[in-house]
Amino acid sequence: MVVILKENPDSGRISDLTAWLESLGLEVHPTVGKVQTILGLVGDTSKVDIELIRALDIVQDVKRISQPYKEANRAFHPDNTVVTIGDASFGDGSCPIIAGPCSVESREQLLEVALRVKAAGATLLRGGAFKPRTSPYAFQGLHADGIKLLLEVKKETGLPIVTELMDLSQLDLFDEVDVIQIGARNMQNFELLRQVGHTDKPILLKRGLANTLQELLMSAEYIMAGGNHRVILCERGIRTFETATRNTLDLSAIPMLHEMTHLPVIVDPSHASGIARLVKPMALAATACGADGLMIEVHNDPAHAKCDGPQSLTPGAFEDLAEAVRRIKPFAYKA
């Protein structure tokens, strides 16, 4: 951390500041120019509140050099974290596929989709029981009944399930759920993050629509600070000025996150573009740049899906995608 002081600071004030910084366990190295004075801080700055220092009246600016996240930081944990659920391992160099409908609508729908995606190679089943919808008048999911259907289909197919938790009041229903998803709109719902950090379940944490990679890792840090280290990060598109696609899939996030963190990073190409025809090319691109997994929306009847139909693949199109991913995987980027 580097503290840049205002011009011609009072030397007594510098001594006070230096003493206070040292009391936080940091070494302080001053650089004194004719006009500008800089304090270089050495030590564990991850728990220093940068805003507190910036507020001091002799300080002009503070710049972090080391990252503010620690548990999630690859610098301190060089080896990949591998999160294994059933037959799927995220972070070991493979690229498992999570597939299923956007929302659980009926036993028939869910079972049919589950059997088809399993046959095509998916190793986890996704399906929403609680649906975050922009409009209060849109379909909000089957709630407890949806979870029940997911567990029935899990039993019948052997596929572990991933489903979204929207509020802590729903947590009791998630006992037999295999992976808890935290949605993009809840990426900074800090109370929710804290609580799932006390569960023993893998957490699939989606990047918020306007959150930086550093903020995504700070949210992972909330979960990990509670003791739960099985966090899977998910890139799902960010908000930009472009309107041809719903969001802009940020694939450079994959190699960039692989440098910043040891956690596995998967990609959801369905929500990013909101257009079914773009799902396959973007799934191949994600695989090519080293994604640790994919999450794909599949519906047996996309034209009548209760939500997000336009981005869902048919089971047939999913088979084609899964096969294409399998073929391209051996030629993908390895760090």
Looking at 12, 57, 78, 79, which residue binds a copy of itself (CB under 8 A)? 57
192 binds a copy of itself (CB under 8 A): yes
Q: Based on CB atoms, which residue is closest to a copy of itself, 21 or 213?
A: 213
Work out how close the CB of 155 gets to a copy of itself at its nearest, in angstroms, rounded to a whole number. 28
Cβ-Cβ contacts under 8 Å for 313 (sequence gap 6 or more): 270, 276, 279, 280, 296, 297, 298, 299, 302, 321
Contact with a copy of itself (CB under 8 A) among 51, 79, 172, 200: 51
Residue 252 binds to a copy of itself (criterion: CB under 8 A): yes
C-alpha 32, offset from chain centre: 42
Q: Is 4 in the site for a copy of itself (CB under 8 A)?
A: yes
The three state secondary structure string of 109-172 is: HHHHHHHHHHHCCCCEEECECCCCCCCCCCCCCCCHHHHHHHHHHHHHHCCCEEEECCCHHHHH
Residue with Cβ nearer a copy of itself (157 or 248): 248
Closest CA to 84 of 324, 329, 295, 292: 292
Residues 100-139 that bind a copy of itself (CB under 8 A): 130, 132-139
Nearer to a copy of itself, 111 or 324 (CB): 324
User: Contact, 123 vs 88, CB < 8 A?
Assistant: yes
For residues 179 and 207, the answer to whether their CB atoms sit within 8 Å is no
**Measured from the CB of residue 160, what is the shortest distance to a copy of itself in angstroms?**
25
Per CB under 8 A, 260 contacts a copy of itself: yes
Which listed residue (99, 272, 295, 296) binds a copy of itself by CB under 8 A?
Answer: 272
Contacts of 267 (CB under 8 A, 6+ apart): 234, 235, 236, 249, 251, 254, 282, 283, 286, 291, 293, 294, 295
169 binds a copy of itself (CB under 8 A): yes
| Number of Cβ atoms within 10 Å of the Cβ of 201 | 16
User: Of 79 and 243, which CB lies nearer to a copy of itself in the complex structure?
Assistant: 243
Stretch that binds a copy of itself, among 90-98, 121-129, 227-235, 254-262 (CB under 8 A): 254-262
Q: How far is the CB of 262 from a copy of itself (least distance, A)?
A: 16
5: part of which helix (H) or strand (E)? strand 2-5
Alpha-carbon Rg for the chain in angstroms: 23
* Distance (Å, whole) CA 2 – CA 319: 53
Instruction: Report d(CA 118, CA 198) in Å as an integer.
Output: 31
Residues 21-40 that bind a copy of itself (CB under 8 A): 27, 29, 31-36, 38, 40
- Distance, CA of 126 to CA of 110 (rounded, Å): 10
Told to check if 209 binds a copy of itself by CB under 8 A, we report yes
Q: Which residues, 296 to 335, sit near a copy of itself by CB under 8 A?
A: 302-310, 312, 324, 327-328, 331-333
Instruction: Please give the size of the binding site for a copy of itself, defined by CB under 8 A.
Output: 112
- Pair 130, 334: CB distance under 8 Å: no
The single residue among 144, 145, 212, 227 that binds a copy of itself, judged by CB under 8 A, is 212
Least distance (Å) between residue 133 CB and a copy of itself: 7
Helices 315-328, 276-288: crossing angle, 10 deg rounding: 20
Residue in 9, 68, 86, 121 binding a copy of itself, rule: CB under 8 A: 68
Give the Å distances, CA to CA, from 194 to 128, 152, 174, 221, 226: 22, 29, 16, 9, 6
Give yes or no for residue 285 binding a copy of itself (CB under 8 A): yes
Q: For a copy of itself, which residue of 287, 296, 298, 313 counts as binding (CB under 8 A)?
A: 287
Give the shortest CB-157-to-a copy of itself separation in angstroms: 26
Work out whether 270 is an interface residue with a copy of itself (CB under 8 A). no
Q: Is 168 in the site for a copy of itself (CB under 8 A)?
A: yes
